[in-house]
Amino acid sequence: MIKAVSILGSTGSIGRQSIAAAKHLGVPVVALTANKKIDSVEQQARELKPKFVAIFDENAANDLKIRLADTDIRVGSGMQGLIEAATLSEADCVVTAVSGSVGLRPTLAAISEKKRIALANKETLVCAGEIVMPAAKAVGAEIVPVDSEHSAIFQCLMGRQPGELKKILLTGSGGPFRGKSRAELENVTPEQAVKHPNWSMGAKISVDSATMMNKGLEFIEAMHLFGVTPDDIRVVVHPQSIVHSMVELVDGTVIAQLGVPDMGLPIQLAMTYPERKASPFAHLDFYAMKDMTFEAPDYEKTPCLKLAMDCARRGGTAPCIMSAANEVAVAMFLNHRLGYNRIYDCALQAVESIEIVNKPDLEAVLAADEQARVFVREHFS
Ligand code: MG
């Protein structure tokens, strides 16, 4: 089990649940970072007494510094602050729960210090899987996924030999609009889109779950994390979210990981791995359980999933462009400045319009990310 943890993105849904897990396990939280929500961070800092807190926004960081002047807690800011939090010598594990490509540099910095990465930032692998995975391998840094599906696959593969895996069966609930056509979804509001049937999550990922872009991002993430090709992954719609994903082995055996749909479980495992500890979460009751059903995705009705799978095959900066464009589009949708169906249009047009770079380095990845953001702002607002 880990000794101490830094939590990047501590005020978001995963960040708050990571703090709860650390408290339950008795693991000290030595660093926190947030974008600019200093009321929440101040509260967390006073309770947890970390060594260091970083606020990405410079002005907000200055405000927090004044507020925490009566404590020993150091306050940093900007990307430098995030990197410092990610590499703090006291921590042997870093939860990367920041949203978006801002997590990329801190994650790489933590890897170079051989920290365990409890990976909750999808963009890290979607945009830079070809950079991050070899970097982790080179120094022997562990990457333990926090995303429920990848945690499930990770668990199903524990103790397996590399040649034994035949297929990854990536499950997804299908979101709140499963089976609905594009025409039926034309007037969807942010309030409707963030209402996920099974999972309680942040707004951005809830919208991604509704469009199934989330499953597409997870498809790309799985490819990198488990070193497989797009042909080795099959998406399976499983509306009840009891099976969190499965692996099919070469002999035809399928191993599944099941549990209640609570992100607290994969978060705790990322901290206790390879051990298991008692958790405060509900256990599955098979007597009370209703049906479990499985079906193929309808790609006509989930074009974002199809686009992501196409980008996975295209490789290079295509997934990064798609993901960044989607991120901006979702933010605009949540602010009522963009229609629901236009989210897909944004991502598609960005991928079709921006030049895709093959085998990008980190600079090329970040440039593609920025280009996609500018593209969506210029063409869709
Ligand atoms: Mg997931």
What tens digit of pLDDT does each residue of 229-241 get? Answer: 999 999 999 999 9
What is the CA(171)–ligand 1 centre distance, in A? 9
pLDDT grade, residue 171 (50/70/90)?
very high
What is the CA(176)–ligand 1 centre distance, in A? 15
361's tokens: 């380095």
pLDDT grade, residue 99 (50/70/90)?
confident
Question: In the predicted model, what is the mean pLDDT of the chain?
Answer: 96
What is the CA(244)–ligand 1 centre distance, in A? 8
What is the CA(195)–ligand 1 centre distance, in A? 15
Q: In the predicted model, what is the mean pLDDT of residues 74-92? A: 98
For residue 103, give Cα distances in angstroms to 8, 82, 126, 274, 322: 8, 8, 12, 25, 17
What is the CA(295)–ligand 1 centre distance, in A? 18
What is the CA(357)–ligand 1 centre distance, in A? 27
Considering only residues 123 and 55, tell me which one the structure prediction assigns the higher pLDDT.
55
Strand 5-8 relative to strand 143-145: parallel, antiparallel, unpaired? unpaired
What is the CA(237)–ligand 1 centre distance, in A? 13
Q: In the predicted model, what is the mean pLDDT of residues 164-193? A: 95
Q: Is the pLDDT of residue 262 over 80?
A: yes
What is the CA(302)–ligand 1 centre distance, in A? 16
What is the CA(126)–ligand 1 centre distance, in A? 13
What is the CA(82)–ligand 1 centre distance, in A? 24
What is the CA(199)–ligand 1 centre distance, in A? 9
Percent of the chain with pLDDT over 90: 93
User: In what order do the strands lie in the sheet containing 233-237?
Assistant: 233-237, 165-172, 243-249, 254-258
Residue-wise pLDDT for 37-46, tens only, equals 999 999 999 9
What is the CA(74)–ligand 1 centre distance, in A? 34
The reported pTM is 0.95
Q: Tell me whether residue 138 is exposed, middle or buried, using C-beta atoms within 10 angstroms of its C-beta: 0 to 12, 13 to 18, 19 or more.
A: exposed
Percent of the chain with pLDDT over 70: 100
What is the CA(215)–ligand 1 centre distance, in A? 7
Q: Rounded distance, CA 217 to CA 195, Å? A: 20
Dihedral, 118, 111, 326, 322 alpha carbons, nearest 10: -130
Q: In the predicted model, what is the mean pLDDT of residues 284-296? A: 94
Count of CB atoms situated within 10 Å of the CB of 284: 11
Dihedral, 152, 158, 162, 165 alpha carbons, nearest 10: -40
What is the CA(40)–ligand 1 centre distance, in A? 25
What is the CA(122)–ligand 1 centre distance, in A? 9
For residue 234, give Cα distances in angstroms to 11, 237, 238, 251: 33, 10, 12, 17
Residue-wise pLDDT for 190-207, tens only, equals 999 998 777 777 889 899
- The reported pLDDT for the residue numbered 197 is 74
What is the CA(113)–ligand 1 centre distance, in A? 27
Q: Is the pLDDT of residue 381 over 90?
A: no
What is the CA(172)–ligand 1 centre distance, in A? 8
What are residue 235's DSSP bridge partners? 170
Q: Rounded distance, CA 56 to CA 52, Å? A: 13
What is the CA(149)–ligand 1 centre distance, in A? 5
